[in-house]
Amino acid sequence: MKFLRSRYFIICVLVAIIIGLVPAMLAAFGGTDILRSAVKTVAKPFETVGSYVADGVGGFFSVFSSYDELKEENEELRARLTELEEERRDNAVLKNENSWLKEYFGIHTEHPEFLLTDARIISHSSGSYSTVLTLDKGRVHGVLKNMPVITADGAFGYVSEVGLDWCKVVSVIETASQVGGYDQRSGSRGYLEGSLELRESGLCRMVFQAEADIMVDDRICTEGGEHYPSGLYIGRISTIEADPSTRTLVATIEPAVDFSDLDSLGRVMIISGYGS
């Protein structure tokens, strides 16, 4: 038959004989290790590629596993940072609160009869020196017209208008303000009043009789009356001038309260009553 005599058939037969005889001959002469080595050599590239593929697949899934762990850890850290930030803000608020109360404790120690209502400044007049402001306390909080308003430093003003849950306060440097006072060192008495000219500098003035014993840096306190109780510190004398036409001494008063920086003041106290 033509196929059996073809060159292709003969080559296939020879290859089959070689494939069958070579392992048998190697086994007969103890060459099994040579065969195994040859097979291993041929298979090594495939094993290496397979190993790389396996490592790659394992690394691929490991990356996703690590990503999930890192994401969870990130969320925990973010939550902790938020918690610490809230604690920091709370501590700052408590610190300011304690500092504020400590300042007023001095007034309460000096005047234990005062019943104090704390109030926040919610607005104030514009300008370099604010002389009228609005507080967040009103009739529902027991606030009444003409009640004194103080800070930790001294007298601030008095309540001039009252709403349901707000009130307006006129400061001691406002032109509408007038209050009796005395020199703490000498006891000389006079009346303190706002001045349009001095208000622009955050100051007010006090008028004394010509023979009054007053000196620069003397402390001035309230005498008591319609708006203020006796003994509230108002400020100090910065200058003194004689007015021959009225036979009086006119002292410029630097208030204890800094009316140029009410935003940092934040809160004040209303003297809402007097205990025994």
Residue extents of the structural domains in the chain: 31-110, 114-274
Residue 203 — pLDDT band, cuts 50, 70, 90?
Answer: very high
Q: In this predicted structure, what is the pLDDT of residue 189?
A: 96
Q: Which amino acid is at 233?
A: Y
Tens digit of pLDDT for each residue in 248-258? 999 999 999 98
- Locate 216 and state its tokens: 């620069």
Residue 224 — pLDDT band, cuts 50, 70, 90?
Answer: confident
Q: In this predicted structure, what is the pLDDT of residue 105?
A: 62
Average pLDDT over every residue of 13-34: 55
Q: Which amino acid is at 274?
A: Y
Average pLDDT over every residue of 85-101: 56
Q: In this predicted structure, what is the pLDDT of residue 238?
A: 97
What is the model's pTM? Answer: 0.62
Share of the chain above pLDDT 70, in %: 64
Tens digit of pLDDT for each residue in 163-190? 999 999 999 998 878 899 999 999 999 9
State how far the Cα of 78 lies from the Cα of 84, in Å rounded to an integer. Answer: 10
Average pLDDT over every residue of 76-94: 66
> Using an 8 Å Cβ cutoff, are 111 and 99 in contact?
no
Q: In this predicted structure, what is the pLDDT of residue 93?
A: 44
Average pLDDT over every residue of 39-53: 52
Q: What is the 3-state secondary structure (H, E, C) of 10-41?
A: HHHHHHHHHHHHHHHHHHHCCCHHHHHHHHHH
Winning range, highest mean pLDDT, from 63-77, 126-140, 173-187: 173-187
Q: In this predicted structure, what is the pLDDT of residue 66?
A: 66
Pick the CATH number of 114-274 from 1.10.150.110, 3.10.20.90, 2.40.10.340, 1.10.3720.10: 2.40.10.340
Residue 125 — pLDDT band, cuts 50, 70, 90?
Answer: confident
Higher pLDDT, 139 or 108: 139
**Mean pLDDT of the chain, nearest integer:** 78
- Locate 44 and state its tokens: 């090594």
Neighbouring CB atoms inside 10 A of 158's CB total 23
Average pLDDT over every residue of 26-42: 52
